[in-house]
C-alpha cells in the first residue's frame, strides 16, 4: 500500500457502516482504507434497520446533516451508496440537494441484486435513473456484466466503472479446528427463496442415507427460519440441518473457518459478500452463475455452478464435493489466491483511489 497522504476530501453517504451485512460492510471497509491512506473524509448515515418511523427519522437526520455540511464545507468527491426501491428514491432526494448546491463530482456506488429488474418494472425509477446517471461523474458497479446490462438498458456510456466488493482477507488468516468426522456445508445469508434455501432443502432430501450420515448443513441467517425448519422436519432432514440464526463477528468467522463447503444457490445476487468470505476461508463454492459472478469464478476450477432452481443439479454437485476432499482442498486454495489478488481491501481500495484521482481532474 502506498503511504503518502492524499490531498482530496471525500464525503460518503450510505447506511450505518459496519453494523449490517452488504452495503454496511462495504462502506465500513472503504472508510477504514481511506483513513489508513490519510484521506480526509466525512460519512453521513441516512439509513438504519428498524421500524418505519425509525428509518424515516434516520433519513431526515441524514438529510439535514448533509444540508448543513454543504453550507460549511466543500469536498472533492461525493460518494453515494445506493440500491433499488426505497434506497434509490432516497438517494434521488439527496442527489437533488447536491445539485441544488452546484455539486458536480458525484460518484454513485450501486449495490443490490435486482437493480436491473427494478428499473425495468418501474417506469418512474428508470426515468430518474436516466436523469441522475447521466449527470454524475460515474457509477460504480460490481461486475462487468452489470456494467454492460446497465449501459444497454439506459443507453448511457462512459459513466459505469467496475469496482469489486472488498473483503479484509487478513481477518480470515487464523486457525479454527474443523470437525473431521463430518463434512460441514455452510449457508450464510437471508433465509428466503431468493437465496435458494428451498432448492437446497429439495436437493438435500435427494442425498442417499450413507451420505447424510457424513454431513451437516449449517444455516446462518434470519428470515423464514421457522418455515424452513418445519420443512426439514417434514422431509426428515432435522438431523442434518442446524439453524444458527444471524451470526456476526467472531461467531461468523468461526462458521466459515470450520466449514468444508459453501453453498449459495441464489436466484438473484449482486456479488455476495459471503462468497468472498468463503473464498477467504479457502472453501470450495457451489453457487449460480448470475450477474457477473462468472467473470471471476470458473466452473470446475474454484467453484461448481448450478442453474438457479435446479435441485437435481445441486444434488449432483453436492455429492461431488462431499465425496472428494482433494477437490475441496484444490478449489479452496484457488479461491484464496483469487480473493487476495482481486478482492482484498488493499487492492479494491487502491482501485477506488485511482478512480477518484482520474475522474476528479
Q: Residues of the chain with pLDDT > 70: what percent?
A: 97
Band (pLDDT 50/70/90 cuts) for residue 248 is confident
Question: What's the structural domain count of the chain?
Answer: 2
The answer to whether 353 touches 37, Cβ cutoff 8 Å, is yes
Q: 2: pLDDT confidence band, cut at 50, 70 and 90?
A: low
Which of 206-215, 251-260, 292-301 bottoms out in mean pLDDT, i.e. has the lowest?
292-301
Q: What is the pLDDT of residue 179?
A: 66
Nearest alpha carbon to residue 60 among 90, 81, 37, 82: 90
| Three-class secondary structure of residue 241 per DSSP | strand
Inform me whether the pLDDT recorded for 31 exceeds 60: yes
DSSP structure string for 104-154: --EEEEE--S-HHHHHHH-HHHHHHHHHHHTTSSEEEESSHHHHHHHHHHH
pLDDT top residue among 116 and 45: 45
Query: Within this chain, do residues 102 and 191 fall inside the same structural domain, yes or no?
Result: no
159 and 197 together in one domain: no
| Closest CA relative to residue 195, chosen from 245, 149, 263, 145 | 263
Do 152 and 261 lie in one domain? The reply is no
Give percent of the chain above pLDDT 90. Answer: 80
Question: d(Cα 74, Cα 55) in Å, to the nearest integer?
Answer: 27
- Locate 350 and state its grid cell: 487502491
Beta strands in 189-323 (DSSP E): 215-220, 241-245, 261-264, 285-287, 303-305
- Is pLDDT at 34 greater than 90 in this prediction? yes
Is residue 4 a part of any domain in this protein?
no
Domain of residue 162: give its range: 9-166+344-359
Pair 329, 180 in one domain: yes
Can you give the pLDDT at residue 135? 94
Confidence at 5, pLDDT banded by 50, 70, 90: low
Residue 2 falls within a domain, yes or no? no
- Work out the mean pLDDT of the chain and round it to a whole number: 92
Evaluate whether residue 1 is within a structural domain.
no
Asked if residue 266 belongs to a domain, the reply is yes
Is 3 a domain residue?
no
Residue 249 pLDDT > 90, yes or no? no
At 4 the pLDDT is 59
Same domain, 329 and 348: no
Rounded to an integer, what is the distance from CA 219 to the centroid of its chain? 18
User: What confidence tier does 134 reach under pLDDT thresholds 50, 70, 90?
Assistant: very high
For residues 42 and 116, membership in a common domain is answered with yes
* 155 and 174 together in one domain: no
Residues 56, 178 share a domain: no
Backbone angles phi, psi at 6, to 5 degrees: -100, 145
Q: Single out the residue of 81, 76, 80 nearest to residue 41, CA to CA.
A: 76
Q: For 41-76, how does the pLDDT look when each residue is reduced to its tens digit (9 = 90+)?
A: 999 999 988 899 999 999 999 999 999 999 999 999
The residue assigned the cell 476450477 is: 301
| Same domain flag for 156 and 20 | yes
Do 210 and 323 belong to one domain?
yes
Q: Tell me the CATH number at 101.
A: 3.40.50.2000
- pLDDT in the model for residue 19: 76
Q: Based on the fold, state whether residues 134 and 175 are members of the same structural domain.
A: no
Residue 253 in any domain: the answer is yes
In terms of domains, do 149 and 241 share one? no
Q: pLDDT at residue 272 above 90?
A: no
Chain segment 232-244, per-residue pLDDT in tens: 999 999 999 999 9
| Nearest by Cα to 293 from 283, 281, 278, 303 | 303
Domain contains 324: yes
Distances (CA, A) of 182 to 132, 178, 323: 52, 9, 11
Amino acid at each position: 500500500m502506498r503511504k503518502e497522504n492524499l490531498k482530496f476530501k471525500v464525503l460518503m453517504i450510505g447506511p450505518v457502516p459496519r453494523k449490517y451485512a452488504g452495503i454496511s460492510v462495504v462502506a465500513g471497509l472503504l472508510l477504514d482504507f481511506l483513513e489508513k491512506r490519510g484521506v480526509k473524509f466525512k460519512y453521513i448515515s441516512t439509513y438504519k434497520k428498524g421500524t418505519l418511523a425509525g428509518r424515516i427519522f434516520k433519513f431526515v437526520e441524514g438529510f439535514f446533516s448533509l444540508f448543513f455540511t454543504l453550507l460549511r464545507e466543500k469536498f472533492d468527491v461525493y460518494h453515494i451508496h445506493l440500491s433499488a426501491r426505497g434506497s434509490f428514491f432516497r438517494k434521488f432526494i439527496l442527489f437533488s440537494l447536491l445539485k441544488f448546491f452546484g455539486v458536480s463530482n458525484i460518484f454513485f456506488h450501486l449495490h443490490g441484486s435486482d437493480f436491473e429488474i427494478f428499473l425495468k418494472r418501474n417506469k418512474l425509477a428508470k426515468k430518474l435513473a436516466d436523469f441522475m446517471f447521466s449527470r454524475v461523474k460515474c457509477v460504480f458497479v460490481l461486475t462487468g456484466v452489470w456494467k454492460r446490462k446497465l449501459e444497454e438498458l439506459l443507453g448511457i456510456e462512459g459513466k459505469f466503472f467496475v469496482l469489486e466488493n472488498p473483503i479484509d482477507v487478513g481477518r480470515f488468516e487464523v486457525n479454527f479446528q474443523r470437525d473431521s468426522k463430518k463434512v460441514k456445508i455452510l449457508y450464510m445469508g437471508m433465509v428466503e427463496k431468493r437465496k435458494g434455501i428451498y432448492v437446497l432443502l429439495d436437493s438435500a432430501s435427494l442425498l442417499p442415507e450413507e451420505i447424510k450420515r457424513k454431513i451437516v448443513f449449517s444455516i446462518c441467517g434470519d428470515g423464514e427460519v421457522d418455515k424452513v425448519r418445519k420443512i426439514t422436519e417434514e422431509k426428515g432432514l432435522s438431523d442434518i440441518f442446524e439453524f444458527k440464526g444471524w451470526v456476526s463477528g467472531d461467531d461468523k468467522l468461526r462458521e466459515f473457518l470450520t466449514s468444508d463447503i459453501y453453498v449459495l444457490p441464489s436466484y438473484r445476487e449482486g456479488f455476495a459478500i459471503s462468497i468472498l468470505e468463503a473464498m477467504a476461508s479457502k472453501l470450495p463454492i457451489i453457487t449460480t452463475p448470475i450477474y457477473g459472478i462468472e467473470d471471476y469464478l470458473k466452473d470446475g476450477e474454484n467453484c461448481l455452478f448450478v442453474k438457479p432452481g435446479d435441485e437435481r443439479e445441486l444434488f449432483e454437485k453436492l455429492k461431488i464435493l462431499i465425496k472428494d476432499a482433494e477437490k475441496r482442498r484444490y478449489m479452496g486454495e484457488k479461491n484464496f489466491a483469487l480473493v487476495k489478488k482481486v478482492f482484498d481491501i488493499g487492492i479494491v481500495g487502491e482501485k477506488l483511489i485511482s478512480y477518484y484521482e482520474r475522474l476528479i481532474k
